[in-house]
A and B are shown apart, each in its own frame.
Chain A
Amino acid sequence: MPDGRPDLPLMRRILREPRIIFGLCILGLMCLAAILAPWLSPHNPLEQDLLFSFLPPSWQENGDPIFFLGTDNLGRDIASRLIYGTRTALIVAIVAATLAALLGTILGMIAGFYGGKIDMLISCAVDIWMSFPAVLLSIVLVAVIGAGLHAVIIAIVIIDWTRFCRVMRAETMVQKERDYVSSAVTIGLSRFRILFQEVLPNLLPLLIVLLTLEMGIAIVVETILSFVGLSVASDTPTWGNLIQEGRQYIHQAPWLLGLPVACVVLSVLGLNALGDGIKEVIDPESRQ
């Protein structure tokens, strides 16, 4: 690092970027909802009360303020179910995105840095991988592994490591040609040390951007698999399960579909804005 306090102006730039602020707000809200779910939820998300089924949100006609966002076909409180659903979404987003990043980055760095046969092998695997329709592959994978949260996470990692691998391979190839790498070679550092101690820190900004975007993708994939009925058990409140249930009563109770869709859309928009914002701050050249 050439500068004494390089992070100060960067922090200021980050705080000036509206997309980062928006994204951090959404992410912060999601974390709060996920951690504080038992205290924030007005009701038990699994508690059924058939006397109060299909209540609309409280601001609509016939709405009941006790059930702020209404109830579903079994009289379960939608607000509480949405709050608990945030937990699943966030767990999948963080764990799956991190693992996919880990696998993809290591393979991408090795391919980009060592080149030759190992690069050919990894690149070929990525090409074949990417020629599959991702949605179909994830559905087939989960059907093979068996439904459940771990299966969803494994499926996302198996499919999406390629996103990281491609970008990291290309970026490692760029970094490899930089002067600091030849300097490191000259002073006799091992190739392994150069790769992980010198090159890796320079890949981090890009990695953070990809990671943020991947979190959004992971949330969508979990929703999709819940929707198809291949994620966690259907009595666990997840956004995808809520969407799947809401789809059945679309004319009778459109809020059952609308509210969870709004949650997924907002979180995906937030994470995307965050990723795009960070990309712009760390790499002003990407601006057109």
Chain B
Amino acid sequence: MSHSYFFNRLLLAIPTLAGAVTITFILLRVVPGDPIAMMTGPGATEADIAQLRAHYGLDHSIAHQFVLYLGQVITGDLGTSISLRQDVGELIIGRLPVTVELVLIAMLIAASLALVLALTGTFWRDRWPERLVDSFIGVVVAIPDFLWALSLILILGVAIPVMPIFGRMDLTVSFDSWTNFYLTESLLRGEFEVTRSVLHHMVLPAVSLALPLMAITTRVLKSCLNAEMNREYVTLARTRGFSRLKVIYSQALRNALVPATTLSGVQFTFLIGGTVLVERIFGYPGIGNMAIDAVINRDLPLIQGLVLTFAILFILVNLLIDLFVTFLDPRLRHA
């Protein structure tokens, strides 16, 4: 595999990251409302306030603050949260596994459902299953994850109460986690009661995140599959006696996955942004939920750290998609 290709992709990520850092810094320095005033009670003396200002580096000029901030970011020091009074890096690392597990499960659901739906639509082309898939996708694609979350709460949480609608696992289950990757860790440690509870709580948020992504991916994959089905190699394979299912599955699919992944890859990054609200709605203790609290509390260091984390996640997902495409298409490895 070509190393320079990935090196180039990594280099391309630098302007994005730099842009993210700069924009958040600028945005948050014009925030009206003094974060120090919010921290201190009415009894604080001038000296206390000045000391806090110095502690958070707010007493320097804007340019000086930016240079200081850049230096800290590069060394991995994200500062101290104003509202929670803890190290921002530690806070984020503590919550990140929650979001990462949720995002990965949601992507898995979206990808597998899209695969099944697109294959169904292609196999029964121009018959009622394809029309059913098309109309289903048409409705699903229009509704964003935020509204899916609320609708699913109403349907599967209240009307037919089969799914939990709040938190990461049942309160009756206790789990002393070392890594905060509850799902992976409970599986590895064999505590399946925990795994069950975590998965059960994950269903609604993950499905809410997955549905819009699934719809778009199905649409793209289906049209790529249809294009492949008109190609000569498919006709050849059919005349050689391979069944339609076998040709779709073992030949057309592999070729259709490459353009489909390239086209719908961006959508996978949108899913990360969706966690902000979906975690909020389901009271899920990930970084998305934390971000809303940070904004409401005007917690500058925490907001900056979180935006940076989101930008890094975006870049990582993009890289993963690139890797997947190169894995599928050998021609790209030497391009």
Contacts and interface: CB of A to CB of B under 8 A. Distances in A.
Given A128-B15, A128-B16, A143 B147 contact: no
Dominant secondary structure at the B interface:
helix
A135 B32 CA distance: 21
Contacts of A136: 273, 276, 291, 306-307, 310
B27 A228 contact: no
B142 A268 contact: yes
Contacts of A133: 270, 272-273, 276, 310, 314
Interface string B299-313: 000010011001100
A146 B280 contact: no
B295 A243 contact: no
A50 interface: no
Given A128-B16, A247-B281, A269-B143, A139 B158 contact: no
B153 A250 contact: yes
B122 to A, nearest CB: 12
Interface in A89-126: 124
B124 to A, nearest CB: 16
A257 interface: yes
A128 B32 CA distance: 25
B310 A127 contact: no
B27 A269 contact: no
A11 to B, nearest CB: 24
A279 to B, nearest CB: 13
B24 interface: yes
B16 A131 contact: yes
A144 B15 contact: no
Nearest to B165: A250
A18 to B, nearest CB: 12
B258 to A, nearest CB: 19
B163 interface: no
Contacts of A268: 142-144, 147
Given A132-B20, A139-B291, A220-B147, A254 B154 contact: yes
A165 interface: no
Interface in B137-174: 138-139, 141-144, 146-147, 150-151, 153-154, 157-159, 165
B201 interface: no
A134 interface: yes
A224 B154 contact: no
Nearest to A133: B273
Interface residues of A, number: 39
A28 interface: no
A134 to B, nearest CB: 6
Interface string A140-154: 110110100000000
A174 interface: no
Nearest to B12: A127
B63 interface: no
A139 B20 contact: no
A141 B26 CA distance: 11
Interface in B261-299: 269-270, 272-274, 276-277, 280-281, 291-292, 295-296, 298
Nearest to A128: B19
Given A128-B15, A131-B311, A140-B307, A228 B31 contact: no
Given A135-B277, A264-B147, A268-B144, 14 more contacts: A136-B310, A139-B276, A140-B295, A144-B30, A144-B31, A220-B146, A227-B277, A228-B280, A230-B295, A254-B154, A261-B154, A268-B142, A268-B143, A288-B223
Interface of A: 124, 127-128, 131-136, 139-141, 143-144, 146, 216, 220, 223-224, 227-230, 243, 247, 250-251, 254, 257-258, 261, 264-265, 268-269, 272-273, 276, 288
28 contacts: A124-B15, A132-B20, A133-B272, A133-B273, A133-B276, A133-B310, A134-B273, A136-B276, A136-B291, A136-B307, A139-B276, A139-B292, A140-B24, A143-B296, A144-B28, A220-B147, A227-B146, A229-B296, A247-B150, A247-B281, A250-B153, A251-B158, A257-B154, A261-B147, A265-B143, A268-B142, A268-B143, A268-B147
Query: Which 9 interchain pairs have the tightest Cβ spacing?
Result: A133-B273, A272-B142, A128-B19, A143-B295, A135-B276, A254-B158, A131-B16, A261-B150, A135-B273
